[in-house]
Amino acid sequence: MVGVPKPRRETRSMPVVAMVGGGQLARMTHQAAVALGQTLRVLAENPGDPAAQVSPDVVLGSHTDYAALREVAQGATALTFDHEHVPTDLLDKLVADGVNVAPPPEALVHAQDKLVMRRKLSELGAPVPRFTEVQTVDDVARFADQVGGQVVIKTIRGGYDGKGVVLADDTEQAVAAAERYLADGVAILVEERVAMRRELSALVARSPFGQGAAWPVVQTVQRDGICVEVIAPAPDLSDELGAQAQQLGLKLADALGVVGVLAVELFETTDGALLVNELAMRPHNSGHWTMDGSVTSQFEQHLRAVLDYPLGDTTARAPVTVMANVLGAPEIPAMSVDERLHHLFARMPDVKVHLYGKGERAGRKLGHVNVVGGIGDRADAEGVAALRERADRAAHWLSHAQWTDDWNEHTADD
């Protein structure tokens, strides 16, 4: 049988970045890698994972299996992450074996361990909510007394999308939550429940050379602990507070020795101050808007940073960009996703769609949309509200096959 000749790939001189985790962040990083003439190598648990579907260079295995980590790192210029769940001892072992782990484990631990992070940030003089470690339930009651208000219980490791975070209404609830975690041997901390105006995110990148770059500070909107919407830049943020947040991000990236993208999740308190909620050292949901709304996307920037390329321009392309996550509907609609896309594109031709190749399931992050403000769109409150309505309408349509404004695609003529 005559074989079909394989296309020649001229990749000898190109670096290979390996990413641990095969989720949507790896999928979109691969997309950026393609534009740079590269192929992202991915460690994925399953061949059907979002990134494993699209990269031809996949190692199947677990992020807790040292042999799999070693295999994916073999010959790679840098090893990086789409989540923070690789055990620290395995990361240290990889470094000892000569792997270029980016961000390095001593930086990454601040995104893995909320207690280490809170302590380090306090030491660095960065503003954080009042907190304490919990050894017994008495610590929770004592702390609640001390701060004289509501408290939040958090698992120190392993949380994501609000899992491992209990916003207690009163001390009794907090104690009960703490009791459950401690009984299961899960390490927790308690912190004050912050009275906030809103949540912000300061996204920056840092290269090993020491170059830093900051995107405009954005507002994030969470529902049930999940980020559902991002407005870039954060509306009505004073130049002073915006600059303060960016400088904080760059300072932390430097002080912690971050390599790659760093997201600093922030609370803007009701009295106008900033508090750091948590850190992520990878592309982050709050940076998805950059794919269409910034000169350099966070995915390309992450690659540039871990490869020690000069960083890209972080300027916004428009006065406002709104990102809305597409979250699986409670009931999967009968209409196919393909048909939903047809209707969306017919009605809203400027909406940029990013789908992750995942099966539909209630509440699951299936994709996101970006609506980039145009010449006719204004950056004032009315303009922002209009863009938010459009992003929400598009995202809701994609997941629910229902228009939030009851428009009917078969009878309408606009």
Ligand X SMILES: Nc1ncnc2c1ncn2[C@@H]1O[C@H](COP(=O)(O)OP(=O)(O)OP(=O)(O)O)[C@@H](O)[C@H]1O
- Nearest 5°: phi and psi at 98? 90, 10
Nearest approach in angstroms of CB 345 to ligand X is 30
Q: What type of residue sits at position 62?
A: S
- Which of Mg ion, ligand X, none interacts with 199 (beta carbon under 5 to 8 A by kind)? ligand X
Interface with ligand X includes 129 (CB under 6 A)? yes
Residue 270 or 336 having the CB closest to ligand X: 270
Interface with ligand X includes 127 (CB under 6 A)? no
Of 26, 72, 128, 152, the one binding ligand X (CB under 6 A) is: 152
Interface with ligand X includes 329 (CB under 6 A)? no
Feature table: binding site: 114, 154, 191-194, 199, 277-278
**Is residue 281 exposed (0-12), middle (13-18) or buried (19+ Cβ within 10 Å)?**
buried
CB neighbour list of residue 29: distance below 8 Å, 6 or more residues apart: 17, 19, 40, 51, 82, 283, 299, 302, 303
- Which of ligand X, Mg ion, none interacts with 383 (beta carbon under 5 to 8 A by kind)? none
Residue 72 or 252 having the CB closest to ligand X: 252
Q: What type of residue sits at position 201?
A: S
Size of the site for Mg ion (CB under 5 A): 2
- Which of ligand X, Mg ion, none interacts with 161 (beta carbon under 5 to 8 A by kind)? ligand X
Nearest approach in angstroms of CB 121 to Mg ion is 15
Per CB under 5 A, which of residues 288..317 are in contact with Mg ion? none
Interface with ligand X includes 191 (CB under 6 A)? yes
Of 194, 230, 252, 324, the one binding ligand X (CB under 6 A) is: 194
| Stretch of 141-149, 156-164, 174-182, 321-329 lying at the interface with ligand X (CB under 6 A) | 156-164
Size of the site for ligand X (CB under 6 A): 20
| Stretch of 44-52, 191-199, 257-265, 405-413 lying at the interface with Mg ion (CB under 5 A) | 257-265
Spell out a b/e string for 376-406, using b for 16 or more CB atoms within 10 Å of the CB, else e.
ebeeeeebbebbbebbbbbbbbbbbbebeee
Of 15, 127, 162, 333, the one binding ligand X (CB under 6 A) is: 162
Residue 104 CB coordination number (10 Å): 18
Residue 159 or 257 having the CB closest to ligand X: 159
Residue 218 or 401 having the CB closest to ligand X: 218
Q: Can you tell me the distance from the alpha carbon of 358 to that of 53, in angstroms, rounded to the nearest whole number?
A: 10
Per the listing, tokens 């095969």 go with: 22
- Which of ligand X, Mg ion, none interacts with 152 (beta carbon under 5 to 8 A by kind)? ligand X
Interface with ligand X includes 122 (CB under 6 A)? no
Feature table: binding site for ATP: 114, 154, 191-194, 199, 277-278
Q: Tell which residue, 175, 127, 125, 126, has the closest CA to residue 150.
A: 175
Residue 56 or 149 having the CB closest to ligand X: 149
Per the listing, tokens 């400088």 go with: 247
| Stretch of 86-94, 161-169, 182-190, 202-210 lying at the interface with ligand X (CB under 6 A) | 161-169
Q: Can you tell me the distance from the alpha carbon of 297 to that of 32, in angstroms, rounded to the nearest whole number?
A: 8
Interface with ligand X includes 277 (CB under 6 A)? yes
Nearest approach in angstroms of CB 249 to ligand X is 16
Nearest approach in angstroms of CB 161 to ligand X is 4
Angle between helices 137-147 and 171-183 (to 10 degrees): 150
Q: Can you tell me the distance from the alpha carbon of 66 to that of 87, in angstroms, rounded to the nearest whole number?
A: 10
- Which of ligand X, Mg ion, none interacts with 229 (beta carbon under 5 to 8 A by kind)? none
Helix (H, G, I), strand (E, B) or coil at 280: strand
* Tokens linked to 263: 């997201």
Nearest approach in angstroms of CB 191 to ligand X is 5
Q: Tell which residue, 33, 21, 31, 28, has the closest CA to residue 82.
A: 21
Q: What type of residue sits at position 302?
A: H
Q: Can you tell me the distance from the alpha carbon of 244 to that of 235, in angstroms, rounded to the nearest whole number?
A: 16
- Which of ligand X, Mg ion, none interacts with 73 (beta carbon under 5 to 8 A by kind)? none
Of 139, 268, 278, 392, the one binding ligand X (CB under 6 A) is: 278
Q: Tell which residue, 85, 7, 5, 3, has the closest CA to residue 39.
A: 7
Give DSSP secondary structure letters for 75-143: T-SEEEESSS-S-HHHHHHHHHTT--BSS-HHHHHHHH-HHHHHHHHHHTT-----EEEESSHHHHHHH
Residues that bind Mg ion (CB under 5 A): 265, 278
What residues make contact with ligand X under the rule CB under 6 A? Answer: 129, 152, 154, 159-165, 167, 191, 193-194, 199, 222, 225, 265, 277-278
